[in-house]
């Protein structure tokens, strides 16, 4: 299913989008990748949604990416004798390992690893930052705090610790079980929560054993600080603005978003911008102007994908939310300023033959009447490099690997076509011309750019470029061998 836009749309599935008809409508409306949130839904429900997506893929002959999002460790306070208490600014409040029910003076925090990392002066945020505590003094089993921002604290509310790197693995026991389950199921991308250091990603990669690509969620200040190292060992990145906005001053999030997107583009790794993009559409058929501007900003910055969470998973208007994202993308990408911004932010350092080949392909496409860049890719590397160039013409990624085609559904400007195993470059050119015609990218009177690696079916060998006609007779006439 050809898209007439470059940015991709990720839609989260849930109670509002769990049957064949709705999921198909979401895909036809513009969803390129579906997110399975492992924080919600049983394994049986996840398995059923996965099967539906794969059936739609067959019915529409359209490779669809599936992203499984692991929950990560959840830090929560215990329970209160009266279910909730009111904390007043300036008052003292204690967190400890005592399992007794809490009151207005204290509550259980069943996470000794937090106390091990805390220092006087550190902040703790409760209930998405609505309550802010500052550590006065602490030990291995307690923390006496001053209430900086008061409010109602109730049973099992979440706790964020923004000022320290917690000695916690990104994968809980639940995450390990979920990881194995979704890898056996056959998802394409695995989103890793609570990433603080590159070792978190390497642990998940070892457990994955190549069965899914690893996408690191940047949602903690420690992840921002170690971003370069995390990016190096990740296959992709999700900028999770919701948690970042809890643990950091909200005004810090937009420049961080812009900076991370540029680094991902330079590294030729896909980046998703996520969280609260069209939040009001959970209950309203129309977004706010500010939300539309937020979505547009991510597109102008060159993000590979933008994501819907509760809007498509639990909202009243899931199809309308996807349609809105699609319409905003179409409008932004038709704006001449969009091209100026995208090209001005092209910062890739080219150090290999493959880098030079894809850069040349983009320049040729932009200076002559080329209709598409067709790249043959085994593992997806060539397509990633072509997409990094953000060319003005469509990218057609041809691969013999269905798993590669599915993973590339997340990649900016890339349309994937599965082809048979090829042995010679001329066969590749003919296949590219046929795919370009059948997909509506070109006619027999048009030309395309074809990139590939010789020898064929060897990953990382991009070393050849050809400008070719889309008429197979002309291909054979100019290359009778």
Task: Catalogue the active-site residues.
Answer: 35, 76, 217, 275
Question: To which H or E segment does residue 255 belong?
Answer: helix 253-266
DSSP-derived letter for residue 208 is: H
CA distance 104 to 85: 6
Residue where the block lists tokens 């961080």: 256
Tally of helices (H runs) and strands (E runs) in the chain? 18, 21
Joined tokens for residue 298: 């991510």
The count of other CB atoms within 10 Å of the CB of residue 440 is 11
Nearest CA-CA partner of 276 in 288, 260, 285, 264: 288
- Phi, psi (deg, nearest 5) at residue 379: -105, -5
CA distance 243 to 421: 44
In which region does residue 305 sit, left (phi positive, over 0), alpha (psi from -120 to 50) or beta (all else)? beta
Q: Which residues contact 11 (CB under 8 A, 6 or more apart)?
A: 17, 26, 31, 33, 34, 35, 307, 308, 312, 318, 321, 322
* Contact status, residue 13 vs residue 45, Cβ threshold 8 Å: no
Computed on alpha carbons and rounded to an integer, the radius of gyration of the chain in Å comes to 24
């Amino acid at each position: 299913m050809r898209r007439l836009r470059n940015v991709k749309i990720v839609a989260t599935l849930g109670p509002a989008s769990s049957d064949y008809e709705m999921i198909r409508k979401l895909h036809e409306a513009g969803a390129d990748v579906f997110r399975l949130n492992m924080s919600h839904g049983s394994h049986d429900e996840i398995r059923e949604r996965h099967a539906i997506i794969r059936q739609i893929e067959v019915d529409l002959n359209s490779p669809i990416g599936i992203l499984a999002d692991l929950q990560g460790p959840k830090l929560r306070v215990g329970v209160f004798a009266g279910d909730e208490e009111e904390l007043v600014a300036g008052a003292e409040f204690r967190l400890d390992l005592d399992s007794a029910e809490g009151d207005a003076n204290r509550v259980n925090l069943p996470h000794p690893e937090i106390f091990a990392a805390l220092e006087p002066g550190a902040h703790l945020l409760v209930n998405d930052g609505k309550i802010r505590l500052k550590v006065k003094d602490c030990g291995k089993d307690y923390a006496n705090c001053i209430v900086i921002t008061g409010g109602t604290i109730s049973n099992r509310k979440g706790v964020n610790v923004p000022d320290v790197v917690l000695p916690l693995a990104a994968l809980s026991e639940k995450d390990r079980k979920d990881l194995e389950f979704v890898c056996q199921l056959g998802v394409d991308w695995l989103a890793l929560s609570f990433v603080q250091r590159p070792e978190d990603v390497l642990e998940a990669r070892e457990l994955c054993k190549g069965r899914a690509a690893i996408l690191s969620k940047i949602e903690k200040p420690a992840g921002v600080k170690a971003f370069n190292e995390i990016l190096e060992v990740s296959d992709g990145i999700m900028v999770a603005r919701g948690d970042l906005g809890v643990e950091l001053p909200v005004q810090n999030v937009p420049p961080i978003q812009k900076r991370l997107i540029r680094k991902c583009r330079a590294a030729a790794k896909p980046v998703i911008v996520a969280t609260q993009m069209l939040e009001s559409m959970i209950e309203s058929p129309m977004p706010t102007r500010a939300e539309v501007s937020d979505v547009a900003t991510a597109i102008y910055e060159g993000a590979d994908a933008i994501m819907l969470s509760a809007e498509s998973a639990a909202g009243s208007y899931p199809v309308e939310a996807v349609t809105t994202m699609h319409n905003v993308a179409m409008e932004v990408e038709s704006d001449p300023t969009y091209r100026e911004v995208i090209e001005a932010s092209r910062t890739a350092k080219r150090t290999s033959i493959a880098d030079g080949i894809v850069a040349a392909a983009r320049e040729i496409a932009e200076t002559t009447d080329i209709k598409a860049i067709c790249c043959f890719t085994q593992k997806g590397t060539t397509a990633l490099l072509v997409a990094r160039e953000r060319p003005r013409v469509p990218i057609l990624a041809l691969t013999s690997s269905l798993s590669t085609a599915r993973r590339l559904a997340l990649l900016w400007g890339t349309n994937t076509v599965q082809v048979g195993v090829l042995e010679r470059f001329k066969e590749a050119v003919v296949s590219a011309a046929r795919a370009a015609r059948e997909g509506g990218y070109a006619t027999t009177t048009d030309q395309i750019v074809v990139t590939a690696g010789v020898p064929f079916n060897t990953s990382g060998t991009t070393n050849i470029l050809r400008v070719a006609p889309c008429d197979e007779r002309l291909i054979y006439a100019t290359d009778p061998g």
